[in-house]
Amino acid sequence: MIGFIGGTGPEGRGLALRFALAGEKIFIGSREKDRGIAVAQQISKHCPGSVEGGDNYEASNKADIVIIATPYAPQKDTINSLKSNLDDKLIINVIAPLSFNKGNISSIRVEDGSAALECQKLLPNSSVVSAFNNISAQDLLKKDKKIDCDVIICGDDEISKKIVMTLAEKISSVRAIDGGRLENSRYVEDLTALLLNINKIYKWHSSIKIVS
């Protein structure tokens, strides 16, 4: 089962919808159990029987793979409060640390290098992989929309990274790109700020594609 921490936001809902449509079992976690249940019920309309919901504790407890989909600011406290459930699991970090100031979107400097590196430091017994940082939630939420983009996946454990690459390619037209070690997640996270500024200028939902 794939559990989402902060799964009620657009990114969590969008990824959950796509993975559920691909046949994965999903648990939507929230700080508020009822909100997690309500969002799970909404997603279930498109894929009955595949999506449960509740609080973040339950999501992290039941899942084998946990996706952290909160904003950056509460990451540390959220992870620390769920640490015993997250230990030894495969964690997918989708966070792009961003600040919004006078119409400009910037990436936030993270002391540990990136949100994913901070997450790995907080969870030394888990395998953290960063992915999906650049994919538009608005596009994910349109269940029939083809998302022709690359998802760059960074992680230090090759087996975990392969699992996440296979998962990413369950979203139709998405190609998974091995982005190397988790240390490289800083570049992928930063790119999100650029994409969001481009979106503002062109009114797009931009994403990335690597050309060889």
Ligand X SMILES: NC(=O)c1ccc[n+]([C@@H]2O[C@H](COP(=O)([O-])OP(=O)(O)OC[C@H]3O[C@@H](n4cnc5c(N)ncnc54)[C@H](OP(=O)(O)O)[C@@H]3O)[C@@H](O)[C@H]2O)c1
Total residues contacting ligand X by CB under 6 A comes to: 25
Beta-carbon contacts of residue 181 (< 8 Å; ≥ 6 apart): 154, 155, 156
Cα-based angle 108, 137, 18 (whole degrees, multiple of 5): 130
Residue in the shown chain whose Cβ atom is closest to ligand X = 9
Question: How do the residues of the chain divide into helix, strand and coil, expressed in percent and rounded to 5?
Answer: 40, 20, 40
The one-letter code for the residue type at 125 is N
Q: What are phi and psi of 128, to 5 degrees?
A: -100, 130
Q: Of 85, 120, 133, 160, which one interacts with ligand X (CB under 6 A)?
A: 133
35 binds ligand X (CB under 6 A): yes
Token couple for 84: 């015993």
**CA distance from start to end of the chain:** 35
Token couple for 205: 């939902």
Exactly one of 1, 21, 25, 71 binds ligand X (CB under 6 A); which one?
71
Minimum distance, C-beta of residue 120 to ligand X, in the bound complex (Å): 16
- Residues from 85 through 124 that contact ligand X (CB under 6 A): 94-96, 98
- Pick the piece of the chain touching ligand X (CB under 6 A) from 18-26, 68-76, 155-163, 170-178: 68-76
Of the pair 95, 168, the CB lying nearest ligand X is at 95
Applying CB under 6 A, the residues found at the interface with ligand X are 6, 8-12, 30-32, 35, 69-72, 74, 78, 94-96, 98, 133, 135-137, 192
